[in-house]
Structure 1
Amino acid sequence: MNIKPDCLVCLMNQTLKVSKLLELDDNTSKRLLDNTAQLLTEHDLNHTPPQIAKSIYSMISEVTGKSDPLALAKEQATKLALSVNTDFVQTIQDAIKLAVIGNVIDFGAQNQFDLNAMIQDHFHRSFGIDDLAGFEQELTEAKELVYIGDNVGEHVFDKLLIEMIKKHYPHVEVYYFVRGKPIINDVTIKEAQILSNCAHIIDTGAETPGYDLSEVNMESKAIFERADIVLAKGMGNFESLYLAAERSVYYLFVVKCNVVAQAIGKEIQELIFKRG
């Protein structure tokens, strides 16, 4: 899904947010914003938001000397997710609903939402697009499931969903895909270790905040292409794969910006479980 003018403002705002998170001085903050503006002018509208974000966050790391600029935000998000009492999750449907609500933990989103408030308000809401029945039917015959992770924090709820899937469909091998290096607050192999007891952790080599088929490694691409089911979590994976993947993919995310809302004909804050 190619970038829209709205995305340019969002990416500038992300740079400003990183500057504040790192408590940078004004001169360094301005340098980051100037560099971001320059990078935006160098990319045309044929690029996806994750592709441009890769360039911006690489620049931020170079200027600040921090390989993982959002390490603190990821730690805070993980603590927040682990503090949630998940005793109310009893079924796969419950686990999917919590996993998608967890997608609001997103440093890069245009709109920010409170996790606990979203759980209280959205857990009993219906999906704006609901292809859950087809997903469950495919699980009955599937041998391999690829679960493409998104943000740190929500990966705690990804673990709960995978454990629930394994409980009901023990014949399914699950591969949990992570980014190849720190990018925004996306999950990498470091944070994903908490899922090692329920899934094979796969470093995709992707340096974009989305599973970009043009740059992922051969190992993950082979698994992606052969798996019976692919479940892609979050807007970054949707932006990277929607209309680009030649195979079917289930997209699970919260609509958090106007661009994606318009692309799928839904409203901000709606829960999406879409087979594409």
Structure 2
Amino acid sequence: MNIKPDCLSCLFDQALRVTKLLKLDDATSKEVFDKTAQVLIEHTMSSTPPQIAKDIYQAISDVTGEKDPVALAKEQATKEALKIDTSRIHTIPDVLKMAVIGNVIDFGSQKQFDLNQMILYHLHRTFAIDHTLEFMEELQHAKEMVLIGDNVGEHIFDKLLIESIKKIYDITVHYFVRGTPIINDVTIKEGQLLKDCAHIVDTGVKTPGFDLEEANSASKEIFDRADIVLAKGMGNFESLYHVANRPIYYLFVVKCSVVAEEIGHNIKDLIFKKS
């Protein structure tokens, strides 16, 4: 999914949030904005938002010396997610709903949402697009499933989803993570929380979305052969939609106007769509 003009302001806003999170002085902040502007100049409108974000966050790391600029935000998100009581959430439809609500934990989102408020707002509402029944039918015959992770914090709810699926179905689950810190996405470090229920796969991808051109051969082989692929979050949607040559389930909260227009639904809507 190629960028739109709205994406440019969103990427600048991300840079601003990083400067505030790191409490940078004015001069360093200005340098971050200059580098961000240069990255945008060098890209065309045929780039995807995740591809541009990769270069912006590399520039931020170069300026600040921070290899993981939003590490503090990731720690806070994990603590917040672990506080949520999920003891009464058991069925596949319910854990899917909980997993997608967790997608509001997104440092890179155009709009920022409160996790607890979103749980209260969405837990008993329906998906705007809902392919749950088809997903459950496929699970009955599937032997391998890929879950492409998105943000740190929501990976706590990904674990709940995987554990709930494996209680019912005899299936191997591969959990894909990014190859290096990028925004607040799950890497091999945070993915270790899921190692008891899934095979953690370092995809080698440096973008905040599973970019097939960047993925290593091991992850692409699993991606191609798996019976089911479930991609979490808008970054994976932006990277794979209209690009991947296989069926994919997309599970995310609509968090920006560009994706809202692409999918034909509203900001805050819950999407569980098979491509």
Give the TM-score normalised by structure 1: 0.99
The DSSP-based 3-state class of the residue aligned with 2:28 is helix
Residue 224 of structure 1: aligned partner: 223
Question: 1:104 aligns to what?
Answer: 104
Where 1:211 maps in the other structure, the secondary structure is: coil
Alignment of 1:198-217 (within 5 A): 198-217=197-216
Q: State the one-letter code of the partner of 1:10.
A: C
What is the DSSP-based 3-state SS (H/G/I as helix, E as strand, rest coil) of the residue aligned with 1:17? helix
Any idea what the Cα deviations from partners look like across 1:144-163, whole Å, max 9, x if unmatched? 00000000000000000000
The aligned residue for residue 78 of structure 1 is 78
Report the residue type matching 1:150 in the other structure. Answer: D
**Matched AA of 2:115:** L
Distance of 1:247 and 1:94 partners within structure 2:
26
1:119 aligns with 2:119: yes
Following superposition of structure 1 onto structure 2, how do residues 42-57 of structure 1 map, counting pairs within 5 Å?
42-57=42-57
Tell me if 1:238 matches 2:240: no
Aligned position for 2:267: 268
Post-superposition shift, 1:112? 0.5
Aligned-partner residue type, residue 104 of structure 2: V
Equivalence for 1:193:
192
Structure 1 Cα separation of the partners of residues 268 and 133 of structure 2:
22
> 1: distance between equivalents of 2:71 and 2:167?
32
Partner letter of residue 123 of structure 1? L
State how far apart, in whole Å, the 2-side matches of 1:136 and 1:47 are. 34
Secondary structure at the aligned position of 1:215 is classed as coil
Q: Secondary structure at the match of 2:231?
A: strand
Aligned position for 2:63:
63
How far apart, in 1, do the equivalents of 2:263 and 2:231 lie?
A: 16
Letter in 2 for 1:45: M
What residue is the counterpart of 2:254 in the other structure? 255
Instruction: Verify: 1:20 aligned to 2:15, yes or no.
Output: no
Cα separation, 1, equivalents of 2:34 and 2:187: 28
Query: In the alignment, residue 126 of structure 2 is paired with which amino acid?
Result: S
| Counterpart-to-counterpart distance in 2, 1:126 and 1:165 | 20
Residue type of the partner of 1:267?
N
CA–CA distance in structure 1, aligned partners of residues 115 and 147 of structure 2 = 22
Q: Secondary structure at the match of 2:188?
A: coil
Give a deviation string over 1:35-57, Cα, whole Å, max 9, x none: 10111011011000000000000
Aligned to 1:159: 159
Unaligned runs of at least 5 residues, structure 2: none
Distance (Å, rounded) in 2 between the aligned partners of 1:205 and 1:82:
27
SS at match of 1:235: helix
Which residue of structure 2 aligns with residue 182 of structure 1?
Answer: 181
**Two-structure CA RMSD over aligned residues (Å):** 0.4
Q: Quick one: distance in 2 between partners of 1:164 and 1:86?
A: 12
CA positional deviation for 1:73? 0.3
Deviation at 1:88, TM superposition (A): 2.2
Q: Structure 2 length normalisation: TM-score?
A: 1.00
Tell me the alpha carbon deviations over residues 96-146 of structure 1, each in whole angstroms, 9 at most, x when there is no partner. 000000000000000010000000110000000001111000000000000
Is it true that 1:143 corresponds to 2:143 in the alignment? Answer: yes
**Structure 1, gaps ≥5 residues long:** none
Whole-angstrom CA distance in 2 between matches of 1:117 and 1:89: 17
- 1:7 corresponds in structure 2 to 7
Deviations 1:221-251 (A, max 9, x none): 0000000000000000000000000000000
Q: Which amino acid letter does the alignment assign opposite residue 174 of structure 1? A: V
Match of 2:29 in 1: 29
Between 1:263-272 and 1:86-95, the stretch displaced more is 86-95
> What secondary structure is seen at the aligned counterpart in 2 of 1:150?
coil
* Structure 2 CA distance for aligned equivalents of residues 31 and 235 of structure 1: 28
